[in-house]
């Protein structure tokens, strides 16, 4: 298992070699207060019901590694807005206060990173994405969504996925505001896919009439990213 994990990480490092070294941040393990000591948990040491929650090629971490492209943006609530645009009946702009005034939700889910680690039992607080998109009324022509961070990072997702009940934008994790390096003030949470689809620092949802690959999807990552099928790399799409 360890060799497979190491190979996966090496492949990813090779595939991001076209980026500036300063742009692709190294993993920075962080241990939340409630978790105690850090480190990885061997899947073989887990009870069977917990093993069943671990996708193939993954290991369990007690920490929360940090991986992102570019620097952590500064949050200015007075100018911050969340935009919903594209194939919609009405362009929507929400302030942070307006966003947090929407009907909220809480959800517990597991998180799976393409680099080979998974984190169990993340408790998120935020708003369902469908609650936000409904404000703009998606047109029938909309099939996909490009989710952006207001800078260079985007991830593409089918619209039907974002309308699922377990897909949300979150501002809190395990009862505390997200740390900026983990996406504060707002990050997308898509539990069914690898973590790069759960965009940090979300600023926009652009509804589009045809699929358009995002940042990592253009750089060798799989277009769909299902961890249970180990959809890590674009070359797997032809299988």
* CA dihedral of residues 177, 182, 183, 189 (deg, nearest 10): -90
Three-class SS of residue 14? helix
Task: Dump pLDDT digits (tens) for 106-158.
Answer: 999 999 999 999 999 999 999 999 999 999 999 999 999 999 999 999 999 99
pLDDT for residue 111: 97
Task: List all residues 6 or more positions away from 51 whose beta carbon is below 8 Å from its beta carbon.
Answer: 43
Q: Rounded mean pLDDT of 175-196?
A: 97
Nearest residue to 46 (alpha-carbon basis) of 113, 108, 1: 1
Q: What percent of the chain has pLDDT over 90?
A: 72
What are the residue ranges of helices labelled H in 120-206? Answer: 129-136, 159-162
Task: List all residues 6 or more positions away from 113 whose beta carbon is below 8 Å from its beta carbon.
Answer: 65, 67, 119, 194, 195, 196
Q: Name the strand (E) or helix (H) holding 121.
A: strand 117-128
Does residue 164 have a pLDDT over 70? yes
Does residue 7 have a pLDDT over 70? no
Does residue 17 have a pLDDT over 70? no
**Domains and their CATH numbers in the chain:** 2-238 (3.90.420.10)
The number of C-alpha atoms within 13 Å of 56 and in the hemisphere containing its C-beta is 7
**Rounded to two decimals, what is the model's pTM?**
0.83
Task: Dump pLDDT digits (tens) for 47-78.
Answer: 788 888 999 999 998 888 898 888 899 999 99
The secondary structure of 153-178 as a DSSP string is: -EEEEEHHHHTSTT-EEEEEETTEEP
C-alpha distances in angstroms, 51 versus 60, 108, 227, 233? 10, 17, 14, 24
Does residue 27 have a pLDDT over 50? no
Q: What is the DSSP letter of 5?
A: H
* Rounded distance between C-alpha atoms, residue 151 and residue 139, angstroms: 26
């Amino acid at each position: 298992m360890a060799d497979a994990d190491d190979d996966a990480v090496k492949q990813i490092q090779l595939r991001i070699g076209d980026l500036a070294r300063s742009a692709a941040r190294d993993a920075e393990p962080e241990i939340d207060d409630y978790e105690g000591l850090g480190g990885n948990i061997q899947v073989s040491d887990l009870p069977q019901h917990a093993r069943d929650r671990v996708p193939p090629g993954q290991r369990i971490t007690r920490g929360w590694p940090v991986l992102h492209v570019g620097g952590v943006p500064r949050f200015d609530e007075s100018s911050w807005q969340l935009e919903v645009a594209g194939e919609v009946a009405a362009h929507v702009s929400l302030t942070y206060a307006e966003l947090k005034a929407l009907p909220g939700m809480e959800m517990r889910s597991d998180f799976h990173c393409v680099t080979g680690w998974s984190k169990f039992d993340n408790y998120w607080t935020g708003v369902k994405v469908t609650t936000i998109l409904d404000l703009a009324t998606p047109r029938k022509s909309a099939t996909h969504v490009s989710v952006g961070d207001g800078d260079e990072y985007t991830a593409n997702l089918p619209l039907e996925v974002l309308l699922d009940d377990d897909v949300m934008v979150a501002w809190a994790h395990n009862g505390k505001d997200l740390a900026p390096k983990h996406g504060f003030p707002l990050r997308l949470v898509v539990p069914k896919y690898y973590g790069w689809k759960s965009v940090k620092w979300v600023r926009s949802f652009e509804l589009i009439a045809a699929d358009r690959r995002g940042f990592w999807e253009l750089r060798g990552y799989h277009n769909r990213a299902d961890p249970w099928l180990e959809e890590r790399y674009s070359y797997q799409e032809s299988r």
